Amino acid sequence: MKILLGVTGGIAAYKSLELTRLCIKAGHEVQVVMTAGAKEFIQPLSFQALSGHPVRDSLFDANQEAGMGHIELARWADQIVIAPASAETLAKLRLGRADDLLTTVCLATDRPIMLAPAMNRLMWSNQATQENVELLKQRGFTLLQPDSGEQACGEVGEGRMPEPQSIFEALQELQKRHFENQQAWSKLKELWTGKSLLVTAGPTYEDIDPVRFIGNRSSGKMGFSIADVAAKAGAKVTLIAGPVSLATPSGVERIDVRSAQQMFEVVQTHYAQADCFVGAAAVADFRPAQSQQQKIKKRAGLEQMTLELVKNPDIIAWVAQQDNKPFVVGFAAETENVVDYARSKLKSKHLDMICANQVGENQGFERDDNSLTVITANHQTTFPNSSKFQQAMALLQEAGQKF
Ligand SMILES: Cc1cc2nc3c(=O)[nH]c(=O)nc-3n(C[C@H](O)[C@H](O)[C@H](O)COP(=O)(O)O)c2cc1C
């Protein structure tokens, strides 16, 4: 693989010579980009000798092809690793700054980037650095945890750069995952390009009066992730969303609804055009028999009140009963006996597939991660805990293969 190694201004810069050697020995090609800070610590010549390529350090280099070394390097690399990554460079990456070659390449690439931070323990634990690290992780950078121990400044604590061997192993692992991810996307595209998906997401709100409602804790994140992944895989996606505050994934047609009844009406007008229907919304089973026109007042002497509820339509069961039904995927969010309940729901509602989902304390609702068990009449598979986006990828792969 082609590895672009960024070296920034930290004491640990010398350790990256060993990292270069390990990569070359394993048959990888390495090009090194040094910041001005890095060159204060170590001579470019050492990297040049080990990598067999001149070290790149200048953004404005008229000798480069078309004068755009940053674009050429960004295209060249399969993988970028910055080791050591200084506090300064972490901050610049977080801000999206591009005032030197290394940070400009990082902005101009879609390749995986791994960071091996190395700094004094207080610089590392500083809230500013920690916030930068968190945000970079959320954006998809892979951050290696610094080691603990004696530091070059004489202090003891967390902030040492991991040993070159560990960085090298993490790099190999990242590349493997990147490759698997690419394979998963090409499979998803094969299955979903040109297909039509109708998906419901989020809770429903059943109004009691103009200010009160019965709702539930569904965040809508699972359904939105499914819509997002399907659209990225080339499907035509219609997303029917209950009341949630989530951004519409790009390329997705979104229809907002509030109550189960409204969701039902939109599903009725759209299901026939869909190849697949995923009911990820947490639809209220019951609604108040009457929604009051005016706010219900707390009257003196009123110690108790009874709210009469009536049954809502069962949207997913209705879709599954239609002659021209699409492939129907349901969700079963349960707090106990999840798989058993899901299996009986699959049968009783005549679904093609159901995703069993443990909810409750610290699981399922309002979270970014999840673990789904996907069940069909003759097959069951559990995806290990991961982000809802990853779960959506796995689920759409299963569903796509089945229809
Ligand atoms: C002797 C010395 C050692 C330093 N070691 C580190 C370090 O290990 N980690 C770090 O983040 N900054 C360290 N710094 C500070 C950085 O070199 C400085 O923030 C610089 O601006 C980093 O810029 P760069 O990321 O563009 O290389 C050190 C500075 C000096 C003078």
For the stretch 122-180, pLDDT in tens is 999 999 999 999 999 999 999 999 999 988 888 899 999 999 999 999 999 999 988 89
Separation between Cα atoms, residue 92 and residue 113, nearest integer Å: 14
Helices 221-232 + 164-192 axis angle, to 10: 80
Q: Indicate the fold that domain 2-176 takes in CATH.
A: Rossmann fold (3.40.50)
Residues of the chain with CATH 3.40.50.1950: 2-176
Nearest to 352 by CA among 381, 326, 386: 326
Q: Candidates 5, 8, 93, 104: which one to mutate for ligand 1, based on the most atoms within 8 Å of Cβ?
A: 8
Nearest to 265 by CA among 353, 212, 200: 200
> What is the rounded average pLDDT for all residues in the chain?
94
Judged by average pLDDT, the poorest of 79-93, 250-264, 267-281, 298-312 is: 298-312
Please report, rounded to a whole number, the percentage of residues in the chain having pLDDT higher than 70: 97
Please report, rounded to a whole number, the percentage of residues in the chain having pLDDT higher than 90: 85
The closest residue, in CA terms, to atom 7 on ligand 1 is: 10
pLDDT given at position 78: 93
The closest residue, in CA terms, to atom 29 on ligand 1 is: 10
pLDDT bin (cut points 50, 70, 90) of residue 275 is very high
pLDDT given at position 68: 72
Judged by average pLDDT, the poorest of 60-64, 342-346, 359-363 is: 359-363
153 is catalytic: yes
pLDDT given at position 371: 85
State the average pLDDT over residues 267-289.
98
pLDDT bin (cut points 50, 70, 90) of residue 65 is low
Q: Candidates 88, 99, 100, 105: which one to mutate for ligand 1, based on the most atoms within 8 Å of Cβ?
A: 88
pLDDT given at position 225: 97
Q: Indicate the fold that domain 191-288+305-402 takes in CATH.
A: Rossmann fold (3.40.50)
pLDDT bin (cut points 50, 70, 90) of residue 66 is low
pLDDT given at position 122: 96
Separation between Cα atoms, residue 296 and residue 292, nearest integer Å: 7
Contact (Cβ atoms closer than 8 angstroms) between residue 317 and residue 350 = yes
Q: How many angstroms is it from 387 CA to the middle of ligand 1?
A: 34
State the average pLDDT over residues 349-369.
79
pLDDT winner (highest mean) among 68-82, 247-261, 381-395: 247-261
Separation between Cα atoms, residue 151 and residue 155, nearest integer Å: 5
State the average pLDDT over residues 188-207.
98
The closest residue, in CA terms, to atom 5 on ligand 1 is: 10
Nearest to 262 by CA among 211, 212, 208, 207: 207
pLDDT given at position 335: 79
- Model confidence at 325: pLDDT above 60: yes
The two tokens of residue 27 are 């048959």
Distance of CA 375 to the CA centre of its chain: 23
Q: What is the DSSP letter of 248?
A: P
pLDDT given at position 63: 74
Q: Is the CA virtual torsion 64, 66, 67, 69 positive or negative?
A: negative
pLDDT bin (cut points 50, 70, 90) of residue 337 is confident
- Model confidence at 9: pLDDT above 60: yes
Separation between Cα atoms, residue 51 and residue 171, nearest integer Å: 17
Q: Which atom of ligand 1 is nearest to the CA of 88?
A: 25
Q: Helices (DSSP H) in 77-126: which residue ranges?
A: 87-95, 101-107, 121-125
Separation between Cα atoms, residue 101 and residue 57, nearest integer Å: 6
pLDDT given at position 324: 95
The closest residue, in CA terms, to atom 4 on ligand 1 is: 10
pLDDT given at position 4: 98
Q: How many CA atoms lie within 13 A of 361 on its CB side?
A: 0
Specify which residues 79 forms β-bridges with: 3
State the average pLDDT over residues 358-373.
72
**Ligand 1 pocket, Cβ-based, cut-off 6 angstroms:** 8-12, 35, 37-38, 86-89, 118-119, 123
Residues of the chain with CATH 3.40.50.10300: 191-288+305-402
